């Protein structure tokens, strides 16, 4: 019997494609964000409000993932930015190959920002690198403040936590402080933004965070010229 060392990631093939995507995003100065949450936490609503707020000629595109239907893409297309639906047909997460395939007929040089809405799921998307610069996790106030402890991986790996649907706070027993504390237990120092897509509360902070990321991500030459 012989023991052969393998010493590589189980998802090394996904990671290889993701690394290629990341290099392409960097080369073209595209900030790519991977937005993750449970089903129904408000990812699409957040994207609707985001696209509505961005300038008409902003260089933004959206990939939106679901198991079935083109519903989300149809909701997002009315803002006249390029939007593509990825229907996984049963797979509970997006992987790097799906992103690569759906980007094939978009020119990255025409983009500054690529927003990816993952399949609604707090578990599996956390294992699959899509080449993003950062993951953003959305948690709605109807879900319970202990979610960061129950699903630590995604909170651990995300740069920003968006607490959504805060307009419902008067009607649900959700302890905002406990939610933030739980998130920071799993991910010390995690940035948190509280939003309501219905009232618009907190959207300014989210857009500021986004702008900050975009600035930080621009290639140096472009920043100097701009």
Partner 1 sequence: MHEMGIANSVLDAVRAEMSRYPGSYPCKVGIRIGEMAAIDQDALRFCFEAMILETDMASLELAIEFCPRRHHCLECENEFVVHDYDSSCPQCKSLATKCISGDELELAYVEVEEYAASTVGAKST
Interaction between residue 16 and partner 1 (CB under 8 A): no
b/e burial code for range 188-213 (CB count within 10 A of at least 16 → b): eebbbbbbbbeeeebbeebbebbeeb
The answer to whether the beta carbons of residues 90 and 69 sit under 8 Å apart is: no
| Of the candidate residues 188, 221, 224, 226, the single one contacting partner 1 (CB under 8 A) | 188
- 149 contributes a contact to partner 1 by CB under 8 A: yes
How far is residue 43's CA from residue 57's CA, in Å, rounded to a whole number? 22
What is the arrangement of strands in the sheet containing 83-87, beginning at the earlier edge strand? 83-87, 60-66, 113-117, 31-37, 134-140, 160-164, 191-194
Applying the rule CB under 8 A, the residues between 87 and 116 that interact with partner 1 are: 91-93
**Residue 174 vs residues 6, 86, 219: alpha-carbon distances, Å:** 46, 33, 41
Q: Can residue 186 be called a binding residue for partner 1 (CB under 8 A)?
A: yes
- Contact window for partner 1 (CB under 8 A) among 32-40, 53-61, 63-71, 86-94: 86-94
Site size toward partner 1 (CB under 8 A) is 33
DSSP letter for 206, please.
H
Smallest distance from partner 1 to CB 39, Å: 13
Nearest distance, CB of residue 37 and partner 1, angstroms? 15
Q: Name the minimum Å distance from CB 148 to partner 1.
A: 9
Interface ranges with partner 1 (CB under 8 A): 1-14, 91-93, 121, 123-124, 126-128, 149, 151-154, 156-157, 185-186, 188
């Amino acid at each position: 019997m012989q023991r052969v060392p393998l010493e590589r990631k189980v998802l090394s093939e996904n990671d290889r494609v993701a690394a290629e995507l990341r290099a392409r995003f960097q080369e073209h100065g595209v900030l790519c964000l991977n937005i993750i949450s449970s089903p129904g936490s408000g990812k699409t609503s957040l994207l609707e409000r985001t696209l509505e707020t961005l300038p008409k000629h902003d260089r933004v595109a959206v990939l939106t993932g679901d198991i079935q239907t083109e519903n989300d893409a149809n909701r997002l297309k009315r803002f006249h930015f390029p939007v593509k639906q990825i229907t996984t047909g049963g797979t509970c997460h997006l992987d790097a190959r799906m992103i690569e395939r759906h980007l094939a007929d978009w020119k990255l040089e025409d983009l500054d920002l690529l927003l990816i809405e993952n399949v609604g799921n707090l578990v599996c998307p956390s294992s699959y690198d899509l080449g993003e610069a950062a993951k953003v996790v959305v948690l709605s106030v109807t879900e319970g403040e202990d979610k960061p402890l129950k699903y630590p991986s995604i909170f651990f790996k995300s740069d920003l936590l968006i607490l959504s649907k805060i307009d419902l706070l008067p009607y649900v027993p959700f302890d905002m402080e406990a939610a933030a504390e739980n998130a920071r237990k799993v991910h010390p120092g995690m940035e948190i933004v509280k939003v309501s897509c219905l009232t618009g509360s907190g959207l300014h902070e989210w857009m500021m965070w986004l702008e900050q990321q975009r600035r930080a991500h621009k290639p140096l030459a472009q920043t100097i010229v701009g």
